[in-house]
């Protein structure tokens, strides 16, 4: 590169529209595109937030290499093939990796103390020069392809990008510092478990009563919350996307995490190809793990469209979670709106149009849009039908109602769209939380942002195998518990950040939900007594009382024989001990029977009617009298 050529690049840039026409004329003169293709691209630029090159490249009218060379000639800059001419490794740390990826630049070389930056988006870099560090604002520009720049940055900053993906979230809002294997933490956990077991053993009846009351309270709390959410939704149902003032459509990046997928690639591409959003504004990233050879081999056999690309997440500390992959791929996104789909998702063809219009008309504090999730295989078996009913009520009624009530929204893991600047400001996803979606919903509320619901639907595959369902629900419960403990680490701070209403919402959504699952066996026990297990319970109580009475009598006789020489005082004292033991056991057994009978009677009165309830009471009383149990 000659010195005069370097100086020419510092001349003032032409106005944007004149530069595009001049570049288009150059493309026509070199026979790289046809006139109608240029007219089409220039017309779409008025409607889309897309440069000329993206429109031409997305339609396949020009190759990335031809566009690179044409752009370099237009800007009188050097065209660089980074695969043949890699950057000077001594310049790697001049700029942070996230800034390099954001502006698609890489420090290439230094000539006579003058820095040269290679970029695939020179027009974007010129407008962002004031945001660059002072020492590189007057750097010269060389041109390469965007893909080559990103590949080069991923190689140069592999370690830094991997570490950032695992630690992007602030430690205050993350669970990554929780290490249960540490001796101090392990001692606390095992001590708490031991104390709980001892308490249950000593105060078994009291613990049973308290757990029963808490189970009933949690059921009542969740039922009340869902009822109020339903009423709120019925009063103000989800509105259709409002028409916003006409503005250029934004570019939207969609991340699709894949892991050990061998058959989904062809179907996924076919479903995404049905999207009606302009392909020049569509940026789909297939996010793979570096060691996932199965998915990589599957994709290598598939022809990918130009608007779809692959991002490989390097292996770091051994953590391979979905939020870690999302954190890594976030820096490679090009759009101002970032969305998430799963591999088996089938979004509505016009879904992204709804997203763009809703964000254009929404308030600035609306940082996230959650779409409706549904299943395309509800008739596979009974379990898939239950899933369909659950998702229909949750996404179409409960979540919209909670949003109307001003509660924080635990997000779903897919059909999720965020403003990019907001997700970067709140720290991305917690790479160590298995329910990163619910955690992000609460964190957005803590930063003062809101989530709104969309009516657009994404269909996915329902989990219809029992073992897979158990593993999935166990993972969700673990993540819910982790999310709750993270945000309740400092309750007063949480209260001050989100206010009393949202604080109450967090307690209802997380505590009540977890309580229902943890206490489910206790609730099932009462249902078992209703369905015929009550007689066995009565026999067990009666047998316990009878054995206690018999053992007490034996102890009394033995003590009476051994201590007959001690006189009446000793006998009376032993008799009093025997009576205390017998009365105590009779009291506890009778109390347990009365508790079980009252619960069964209350359930029976609801399900079987008042007559059946009276019959159960009479039979239960007769049973107690026959077995000499105090009523």
Q: Do the Cβ atoms of 465 and 381 come closer than 8 Å? A: no
We report the CATH number of the domain holding residue 333 as 3.90.550.10
Q: Is the pLDDT of residue 491 over 60?
A: yes
Place of tokens 């109608």: 36
Helix 183-202, helix 204-235: angle, nearest 10: 110
Q: Point out the least confidently predicted range of 174-178, 184-188, 304-308, 364-368.
A: 184-188
pLDDT: is 16 or 146 the higher one? 146
The three-state DSSP-derived secondary structure of 333-368 is CCCCEEEECCCCCEECCCHHHHHHHHHHHCCCCEEE
pLDDT: is 537 or 580 the higher one? 537
Provide the percentage of residues in the chain whose pLDDT is more than 70.
76
Structure confidence at residue 204 (pLDDT): 76
Q: For residue 571, is it within any domain? A: yes
- DSSP lists the bridge partners of residue 118 as 106, 142
Considering the domain architecture, whether residues 138 and 68 belong to the same structural domain is answered as yes
Provide the sign of the torsion angle of the four alpha carbons 225, 229, 232, 235, taken in this order: negative
Q: Point out the least confidently predicted range of 323-337, 352-366, 545-559.
A: 545-559
Considering the domain architecture, whether residues 526 and 457 belong to the same structural domain is answered as no
CA distances from 364 to 337, 358, 359, 422, 561 (A): 13, 11, 9, 10, 89
Q: Which domain holds residue 555?
A: 522-626
Considering the domain architecture, whether residues 265 and 411 belong to the same structural domain is answered as yes
Q: Point out the least confidently predicted range of 323-332, 401-410, 469-478.
A: 469-478
Q: For residue 187, is it within any domain? A: no
Considering the domain architecture, whether residues 245 and 133 belong to the same structural domain is answered as no
Q: Is the pLDDT of residue 110 over 70?
A: yes
Average pLDDT (278-286) is: 93
Q: For residue 202, is it within any domain? A: no
Structure confidence at residue 570 (pLDDT): 42
Q: Is the pLDDT of residue 354 over 90?
A: yes
Number of domains, the chain? 3
Considering the domain architecture, whether residues 134 and 33 belong to the same structural domain is answered as yes
Q: Is the pLDDT of residue 16 over 80?
A: no
- Please choose, from the candidates 323, 451, 472, 308, the residue with its C-alpha nearest in 3D space to the C-alpha of residue 384: 472
pLDDT: is 47 or 619 the higher one? 47
**Could you tell me how many helices (H) and strands (E) the chain has, helices first?**
26, 11
Q: Is the pLDDT of residue 155 over 80?
A: yes
Average pLDDT (541-567) is: 45
Give me the count of residues in the chain.
631
Compute the mean pLDDT over every residue in the chain, rounded to the nearest whole number. 79
Q: Is the pLDDT of residue 541 over 50?
A: no
pLDDT: is 246 or 558 the higher one? 246
Q: For residue 223, is it within any domain? A: no
Average pLDDT (617-626) is: 44
Domain boundary among 138, 156, 174: 156
Structure confidence at residue 240 (pLDDT): 56
Considering the domain architecture, whether residues 549 and 441 belong to the same structural domain is answered as no
Structure confidence at residue 579 (pLDDT): 34
The three-state DSSP-derived secondary structure of 459-505 is EECCCCCHHHHHHHHHHHHHHHHHHHHHHCCCHHHHHHHHHHHHHHH
Considering the domain architecture, whether residues 276 and 414 belong to the same structural domain is answered as yes
User: Rounded to the nearest 5°, which phi and psi values hold at 311?
Assistant: -120, 120
Instruction: Render pLDDT for 191-246 as a digit per residue (tens, 0 to 9).
Output: 777 777 787 777 777 878 888 888 888 888 888 999 998 898 888 765 555 555 56
Considering the domain architecture, whether residues 455 and 566 belong to the same structural domain is answered as no
Q: How far apart are CA 100 and CA 123, in angstroms?
A: 15
- Please choose, from the candidates 85, 77, 79, the residue with its C-alpha nearest in 3D space to the C-alpha of residue 65: 79
Contacts of 51 (CB under 8 A, 6+ apart): 45, 121, 123, 124
Q: Point out the least confidently predicted range of 417-421, 465-469, 528-532.
A: 528-532
Q: For residue 219, is it within any domain? A: no
Instruction: Render pLDDT for 508-517 as a digit per residue (tens, 0 to 9).
Output: 989 888 888 8
- Please choose, from the candidates 431, 480, 427, the residue with its C-alpha nearest in 3D space to the C-alpha of residue 449: 427
Instruction: Render pLDDT for 367-414 as a digit per residue (tens, 0 to 9).
Output: 999 999 988 888 888 888 888 898 889 999 999 999 998 899 999 889
Instruction: Render pLDDT for 113-142 as a digit per residue (tens, 0 to 9).
Output: 888 999 998 887 777 788 788 778 888 889
Considering the domain architecture, whether residues 433 and 529 belong to the same structural domain is answered as no
């Amino acid at each position: 590169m000659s010195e005069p050529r370097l100086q020419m690049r510092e001349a003032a840039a032409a106005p944007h529209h004149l530069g595009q026409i001049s570049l288009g004329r150059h493309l026509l003169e070199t026979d790289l595109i046809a006139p109608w293709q240029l007219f089409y691209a220039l017309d779409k630029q008025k409607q889309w937030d897309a440069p000329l090159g993206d429109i031409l490249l997305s339609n396949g009218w020009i190759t990335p290499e031809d566009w690179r060379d044409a752009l370099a000639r237009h800007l009188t800059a050097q065209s660089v093939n980074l695969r043949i001419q890699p950057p000077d490794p001594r310049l790697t740390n001049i700029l942070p990796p996230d800034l390099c990826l954001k502006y698609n630049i890489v420090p290439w070389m230094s000539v006579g103390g003058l820095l040269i930056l290679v970029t695939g988006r020179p027009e974007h870099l010129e407008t962002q020069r004031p945001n660059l560090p002072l020492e590189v604002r007057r750097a010269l520009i060389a041109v390469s392809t965007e893909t080559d720049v990103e590949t080069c940055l991923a190689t140069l900053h592999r370690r830094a990008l991997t570490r950032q993906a695992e630690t992007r979230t602030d430690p205050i809002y993350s669970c990554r510092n929780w290490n249960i294997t540490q001796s101090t933490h392990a001692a606390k956990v095992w001590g708490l478990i031991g104390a709980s077991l001892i308490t249950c053993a000593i105060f078994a009846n009291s613990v049973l009563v308290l757990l029963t009351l808490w189970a009933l309270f949690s059921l009542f709390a969740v039922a009340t919350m869902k009822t109020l959410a339903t009423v709120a939704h019925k009063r103000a149902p989800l509105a259709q996307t409002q028409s916003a003032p006409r503005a250029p459509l934004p570019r939207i990046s969609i991340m699709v995490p894949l892991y050990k997928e061998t058959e989904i690639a062809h179907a996924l591409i076919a479903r995404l190809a049905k999207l009606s959003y302009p392909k020049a504004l569509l940026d789909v990233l297939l996010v793979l793990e570096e060691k996932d050879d199965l998915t990589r081999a599957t994709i290598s056999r598939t022809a990918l469209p130009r608007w779809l690309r692959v991002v490989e997440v390097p292996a770091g500390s051994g953590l391979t979670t979905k939020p870690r992959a999302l954190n890594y791929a976030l820096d490679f996104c090009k759009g101002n709106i970032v969305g998430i789909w799963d591999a088996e998702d089938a979004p509505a063809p016009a879904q992204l149009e709804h997203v763009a219009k809703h964000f254009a008309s929404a308030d600035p504090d609306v940082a996230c849009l959650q779409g409706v999730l549904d299943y395309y295989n509800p008739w596979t078996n009974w379990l898939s039908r239950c899933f369909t009913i659950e998702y229909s009520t949750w996404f179409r009624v409960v979540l919209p109602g909670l949003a109307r009530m001003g509660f924080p929204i635990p997000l779903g893991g897919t059909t999720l769209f965020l403003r990019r600047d907001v997700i970067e400001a709140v720290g991305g996803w917690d790479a160590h939380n298995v329910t990163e979606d619910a955690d992000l919903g609460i964190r957005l509320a803590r930063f003062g942002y809101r989530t709104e619901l969309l009516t657009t639907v994404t269909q996915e595959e329902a989990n219809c195998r029992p073992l897979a369902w158990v593993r999935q629900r166990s993972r969700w419960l673990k993540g819910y518990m982790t999310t709750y403990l993270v945000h309740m680490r400092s309750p007063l701070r949480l209260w001050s950040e989100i206010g009393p209403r949202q604080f109450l919402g967090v307690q209802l959504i997380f505590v009540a939900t977890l309580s229902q699952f943890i206490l489910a066996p206790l609730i099932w026990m009462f249902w078992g007594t209703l369905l015929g297990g009550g007689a066995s319970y009565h026999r067990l109580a009666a047998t316990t009382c009878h054995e206690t009475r018999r053992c007490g009598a034996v102890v009394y006789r033995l003590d009476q024989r051994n201590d007959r020489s001690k006189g009446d005082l000793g006998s009376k004292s032993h008799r009093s001990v025997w009576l205390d033991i017998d009365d105590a056991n009779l009291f506890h057994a009778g109390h347990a029977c009365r508790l079980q009978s009252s619960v069964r009677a209350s359930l029976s009165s609801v399900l079987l009617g008042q007559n059946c309830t009276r019959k159960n009471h009479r039979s239960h009383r007769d049973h107690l009298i026959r077995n000499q149990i105090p009523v």
